Each structure stands twice: as structure tokens, then as C-alpha cells.
Structure 1
């Protein structure tokens, strides 16, 4: 039986956060086509299965629950699949890291393409804010014993939702936009190591390989990705 239906654009961006978790948890899911997504997104709010503005949207078929907002979806999946730390403080830190990841996505895409990158604006961003975001994740992991060769971002004894979210952010970005990989290695070597370990988990690696065969190297798509690739030279 299919456990979930994920409604999202055919790009990694926010979608891979959910896909990483579902793959790692061994869940069965389907991704309805863009036409089905647009039908929900554009429907009057009163006619939507759950009030929403934009994807991702997840339908938990077993629970009969519809959710939008990436952070809510991930926390729900964390609870459902025992991917959250046992103590309240670490659960709150998990949510904080997911929110940080969302902020990184917004900044790298200039508020989802509201503006395009130029060489000057990209130089400013990569001189300060993007490395600082990498260092924020790195320092969080360091304070919980994370090293390039081992450990987890919140000190858990196995991968948790926070590790999956970190990898879905940084590994996907560095994989699809390769010139960013050396920056991640330089500013967040322990995070780079963690991301490589998570991305190579068999179920996640299989999902990624299948995705890449079907969709190629796209990351977020659209004009904003074109402007990113222009300033990165890739």
C-alpha cells in the first residue's frame, strides 16, 4: 500500500527534504503529476483538502492527514517514523535547523526568484552570508560531537531528522551546483562529511540515482536557477 502522496514540482529544492526522509524511513509514496498539484494549489481555499498557499503538500494516506509547509511535513514524518530525538530540547533544535534550511533556500534563490543574481550580488552573498550559514550548521554539529569522519549533527546515535534535513539541503545544493562544493568543504567540513554519509545510505542513494536518471541536474528550476548557473559558471 502507498503510505504517502507528495505534491511538489519535479525539482529537488524543497522536495528532496521530504524524499530523503521517506526513502530513509522505507515508506512507499507517489508523486502526482504537476496538473494534479496545480489543481489543488489553484483551487479556492474552501475547496482545498487543507488550506495552503504553495507546495510541498503531503497526504498521509494512513492517517488521513493533509499537510503543507515543509517544516510541518518534516516534523510529522519525524514523529511517524521515530526520527526525532527523545528529549524536548533536541526536538526544538531539529525544528530550528529545518527553519534555518528554509532560510538558506530563500536566500540562495533570492526569495524564490524575486530578483536574479548578478556577479556583484553573488560575490557579496558568497563573501558573507552563505559561508556563515554553512558555519552555523557546522558549529551546531561541532557542539554535539560531529566530526568529518563520524557523528551526527545533534549527537544522536543514529541519523535523525536533523541529519536528513542537513543533507537534503547541503548535499543536494553542492551536487546540483558543483562549484559550491569546495565552499562547503572549507567552511563546514564536518557537515560535508555528514552529508556524504547520509546521501550514500542505500535507500537514499537509490532514490537519488533514480531521480537523476529521470530529471537530470536541475536544482530549483526557472530563471533563478539560470542566473545561479550563470554566476557560478556551471
Structure 2
């Protein structure tokens, strides 16, 4: 939970960028920034660490990884990466993402390095769930496995996505120059709407009259 949330301050998207920083940190370190792996600590202490302590970095972090985590985990939302008027655009420009083509990523045209099992629950242990969840004593059985095996996580069907990719539609739509600008042949000025009378007197609308 971001510091501003714990302090009951007003916020918009700043906790989301804080959450991204925590996610990147945990994916690299294997533990959260403010609680060691399997460390038994009360929630009040974690809240204190979030508001006051500075996270530490091991040798697992590259300089780029340290940089983005520090910028996303800034205690002050006004200094946090992504909280400026440029939002996500400035986050995507960070050097750690230099090898990612976000246009192809958004079009589902990049092969993911890891495919999670939709039927599995990814957590360190049961304690990790119970400490942060109000729901206690949850056990997954074969009925749950059957349900999750049929669960569609995407908002757009996979066959439709494949069809759009195979036909090259995404490539046409997302064609950009190397600097990120739209290529001249893709720029089209929208055709202005014409009123009924303009179309009538220009011959676009034919009028048939019947005389008695």
C-alpha cells in the first residue's frame, strides 16, 4: 500500500505506480521491498516501513532496475515516476524498457517469456494470502481447477486477436517512424461532416418528386 493511502491523503493514480515499483522489485528480489521472505511481522510495522524506511537493493539489481524502482517507490507522490502530466509515456521512456516495442506489445505480437498456469495460485505460502486478505480458510479443489481451466482472462477472444495479427491489421495501424511519430503515408485528416443541405445542393442527395 502506498504511503499516501496509509496517510489517508487524496490520490489518483499515484498508488498504481507505487504498486508497479513493488512488483518490479519483488520480481527481481523474490520478496517485497518492505518485508523479507517468510518474515513474520505485524501489519503496523509494515505500514511504518512503507512510510519511513528506504528500501535496500542487492546485487540482483542492475543500475537500470535500481533506478526505476527508486523512482516508482518515491515516498512523495509528486516526485514519483508516472505521476507527472506525461503519465505512462514517461515511464515507458525509462532505459529499462529500451528493448520493448510497446506497440507490438499492446497488439499481443510479442512472445511472453513466461506463461503462468491459469489454474495455479502463485503465492509464496498460505500466510502470504491470509496476512493481507479478509477471506480465511480458502482451499482449492478439483471443481475450482475445472472452473479456472475454462476461464477466459482476456477481454478479446484469442481467435479474433490471432486473425487481426495474421492479416497484418495491427502492423498497418501501428506503423511508426523510428522516432515514434506516425509515418506521412499513415496520416489522414478526418473528412469533415457535411450538412444535409450542403449534400442536397452539391448533388450528393437525389430528390425525386412526383407530380399529380
Question: Relative to total residues, which structure has the larger strand share, 1 or 2?
Answer: 1
Larger-Rg structure:
2
Question: Relative to total residues, which structure has the larger helix share, 1 or 2?
Answer: 1
Using structure 2 for the length normalisation, give the TM-score: 0.26
Using structure 1 for the length normalisation, give the TM-score: 0.24
Greater RCO (CA < 8 Å, at least 6 residues apart): 1
